Amino acid sequence: MTADFSQPLTPAVARRRSPRRLRLALGLTPSAIACLSWLTVVLGVALLAHWLAPYDYEAIDLRARLQPPVWMEGGTWQHWLGTDDLGRDVYSRLLHSVRMSLLVAVLGTIIGAVLGTTLGFLAAHFRGWIEDLVVMAIDFQAALPFMILALAVIAFFDNSLVLFIAIMGIYGWERYARITRGMTLSALGQGYALSLQVLGVPPLRIYLRHILPNIASVLIVNLTLTFPAVILMETSLSFLGLGIQPPQTSLGNMVGFGRDYLMTAWWIAVLPSAVIFLTTLALCLLGDWLRDRLDPMLDRSPSP
């Protein structure tokens, strides 16, 4: 249900948009609400990890090694989700891992979106060799699976948190660039952008106040696709020991360390795995739902 734009925004129309109508108009399904709730929890944990965690995530206590969660035999409320092989509290590490993974994912997504959109605009505006360069870069990145690219960069340049976030940023940029360039080119061709140019509107204003709002919905949809993908990439790399390095902890990190203890202390790996799964699932489902709201005509098959 879209808002009725054919009527001017008179007071009578504005009154009709009460909260309940708004929620129905937004089309919140039970599953969308469930996803939003989980994600809110995750976000809350990420922001408040410092205060929620009973222990320092690095605190080693060798007397309390490999304690199971509280509902199993041998578990205590002291470490209600158990401890790992160095006696570190799993619950505290989980909280901080969520914070770390989310931080990296958000930063990476933002960097990718800004970088990609800007380059897309530049390519469409200047054409010529700038566009050729950007298109070549897009093709080059699309030619290799990103995992390999990331590993290569880490191999050559050593691993630091800043570099890693930069890599996550580069993960998504090419899709934004491709979308922005394509849609800007079509807008510039025979459309309002050309008219505005003829009317004397300066190019920057055309891009920021006209083109960008018009392609925003497609970009947002892309955002919902790339954000979970960045989380998945980060956790995979951290799992391999090549992402976020100790003493920093991340969800992938924890699973990586816990893999060797699957027989004896499965909770070390399973609990962060569950968090990863639930979070990316919530993001994917929410993304689908958001796509439906923004434009039911968009093609929903996942593109590589």
Binding site for other proteins (CB under 8 A): 5-6, 8-9, 139-140, 143-148, 151-152, 154-158, 190-192, 194-196, 198-202, 205, 210, 213-214, 228, 232, 235-236, 239-242, 252, 255, 259, 262-263, 266, 269-270, 273, 276-277, 280-281, 283-285, 288, 299-302, 304
Tokens of 3: 């808002």
- Could you give the CA distance from residue 46 to residue 52 in angstroms, rounded to a whole number? 10
Smallest separation (angstroms) from other proteins to the CB of 50: 27
Smallest separation (angstroms) from other proteins to the CB of 258: 8
Nearer to other proteins, 59 or 151 (CB): 151
- Cross-strand partners of 83: 89
Nearer to other proteins, 50 or 303 (CB): 303
Angle 267-294/251-258 helices, nearest 10 degrees? 140
Nearer to other proteins, 53 or 150 (CB): 150
Smallest separation (angstroms) from other proteins to the CB of 213: 5
Nearer to other proteins, 145 or 246 (CB): 145
Nearer to other proteins, 48 or 204 (CB): 204
Smallest separation (angstroms) from other proteins to the CB of 99: 19
DSSP secondary structure of 48-102: HHHHH-SS-TT---GGGTTPPPTTSTT--STTTT-B-TT--BHHHHHHHHHHHHH
Smallest separation (angstroms) from other proteins to the CB of 65: 19
Burial annotation 233-244 (CB, 10 A radius, 16+ → b, else e): bbbbbbbeebbb
- Cross-strand partners of 89: 83
94, 54 contact by CB (below 8 A): no
- Could you give the CA distance from residue 258 to residue 97 in angstroms, rounded to a whole number? 14
